Chain A
Amino acid sequence: MSATAPPDDARATAGLRLPSAARLGIDRTGIELRAFVRERDAVIFIFTYPLIMMVIFATVFSGQDQSADGYGVPFAQYFLPGMVATGIMLTSFQSLATSIAVERDDGTLKRLRATPLPAVSYFYGKIGLILLTTIVQTSLLLVLAATVYDVPMPADVSSWATFAWVFVLGTTTGTICGVAFSSLPRSGKSATAVVTPVVLVLQFISGVFFAFFALPSWMQTVASVFPLKWMAQGMRSVFLPHDAQVLEVAGTWQHGATAAVLGAWLVVGLVVGIRTFRWRRRDDG
């Protein structure tokens, strides 16, 4: 404190550089992680929800197949891709839509806005946190399915390549839509109440809890507008045998359509997010 501030021109001539946005993004990831692991209930929810669902459904329907027209796959094997997709949506879309709404409400965003922290570094931090949590959560789920429920893991490179792009595109789209959606709740307190029903309804109509082919066709049509259905379908193309395509409504995995719908939501989320993102609460002008 004893040192006096260098005058302006001294700062300029000393060539003091602002820290890079990338380095600050890494700092932000670190601080986001610390804050995240200390919110014990959130950690428990994020990591155990897909596992508990997997255990419940795989146990209740153990020994049964999801089958139609004489072709079937074991229940756990059909359920796993839907749960992987749901997990991605939880860690990206739901957690971000809620946490940004809370941070807007409690003043975190306004405080950061008052510093030279670049906006992109804030989002780098969010993306870093989401990537890490999603990877951990998906890994736990795959290990559980493979070891306890004997779900076969794909052995070929092309399946894992499909997994990689669906995972990355799904996480990115979920993240960006989460940022856009965070402007909707009026307060931090209402954030969970606003976000959860959306997520829950999508899980029911997108072929996560029930086999997608068994749903009424109007419900299938509605679900086809939203990303979760396509993420689940994309993950089924990874974890189900090639022949299981006959269980899909279209009779194929529709990778092109999956990429197109997820990509479209990514663009829509980006446009809406950029237009609606606010650093301050609504009642704060």
Chain B
Amino acid sequence: MDTTRRETRSVIDVRGLRKRYGTKQAVDGLDLRVDQGEIFAVLGPNGAGKTTTVEILEGFRDRDSGEVTVLGQDPASGGRAWRSRLGVVLQDSRDQVELTVRELVRHFAGFYPAGRDPEEVIDAVGLREKESTRARHLSGGQRRRLDVALGIVGRPELLFLDEPTTGFDPQARRSFWELVRSLREDGTTILLTTHYLDEAAFLADRVAVVRDGRVVALDTPDALGGPQARRPVVRWTGPDGTTHAERTTHPERLVAELTANGALDGEAPGLQVEHPSLEDVYLELIGTAAPTTASTTATTTAPEGSTQGRSTEEVAR
């Protein structure tokens, strides 16, 4: 990454983290570094070790081995002062349903030495109209906003968000994302785990993909997977009506060549240059590549009438 980030302090530092449950090696030598002020997303399939890792960082679980430092301390021995600098938004929440939004936010604010003003927090998460509503009667999205309110009311330096927008409608997600971005602008470092690739793409400064208890890729959302995985796919329909696709680092050059050798006429029906989405790259990284990606890598500029071209055509129909 850029040099300014290198110079900033790390908020989370993990080296060689391991955790085993029975015969399952849930975390298998994981390394991670999260810098101050960034939104860092951890992606990975279920069972990849995301939750175990995050819960070790939060001080909920013990580790078998490895070095872990969160806000300068080992989470396994983090005391109250350390906890007061963290905010944790857990995955599912259905607790304390009889208390109202305002009661809960005020109550939790009292746990911290330098908490935020509860009223400001209620406004920030957009629950002003629901301040006197019991948690029981909040919608899923409102409940999640309350969770975030309780997570940030202590003015944390580091906030953990575990799958925060599961079950949101698109509009609720968008406004939730804006809230998370505003927290970063306030200087909060955020560790986000999510299943949604678009969420990571929209929010994260950097993304780590975890698979089998290890980090298999780590970069900005735009660069994840490296140049090879980022090669665009050119699709076109030849003069005989067959469809073709080719993966290339230089799509313009390929189009020029095709036009020159007559594979494409002036009309160029069905000509497309597709850049792999974060989702395509992610699926390839975790070893379950999307079928379209698999077929395009296999297909090359096939000669007219070849079986491959025909099968592609059939698939297209």
Interface residues of A (CB under 8 A from B): 1-6, 8, 11, 14, 16-19, 24, 27, 31, 34-35, 38-39, 103, 106-108, 110-111, 113-118, 279-280, 285
Contact = CB atoms under 8 A, between A and B. Distances in A.
Contacts of B90: 107, 110-111, 114
Given A115-B108, A118-B80, A34 B154 contact: no
Nearest to A113: B60
Contacts of B293: none
A65 B116 CA distance: 64
Contacts of B186: 1-5
Contacts, number: 101
Interface in B90-114: 90, 92-99, 103, 107-108, 110-114
Contacts of A118: 80
B158 to A, nearest CB: 10
11 contacts: A5-B156, A11-B114, A19-B112, A24-B111, A27-B110, A106-B94, A107-B90, A115-B83, A115-B108, A115-B154, A116-B81
Given A38-B134, A111-B93, A115-B108, A1 B120 contact: yes
A35 B123 CA distance: 24
B93 A31 contact: no
B212 interface: no
B144 to A, nearest CB: 13
Bin the interface of chain B by size. 35 or more
A39 B98 contact: yes
Given A19-B113, A31-B103, A103-B95, A116 B61 contact: no
Contacts of A107: 90, 92-95
Majority SS of interface residues in chain A?
loop
B157 A8 contact: yes
A103 B94 CA distance: 10
Smallest CB-CB A-B distances: 9 pairs: A114-B88, A16-B113, A108-B95, A38-B98, A116-B84, A116-B83, A116-B80, A1-B124, A106-B95
A91 B270 CA distance: 75
A121 B241 CA distance: 75
Contact of B111 (A3, A11, A38, A117): A117
B18 interface: no
Given A5-B188, A34-B99, A107-B93, A18 B80 contact: yes
Contacts of A31: 99, 103, 107
A187 to B, nearest CB: 13
Contacts of A16: 113-114
B58 A1 contact: no
B110 A19 contact: yes
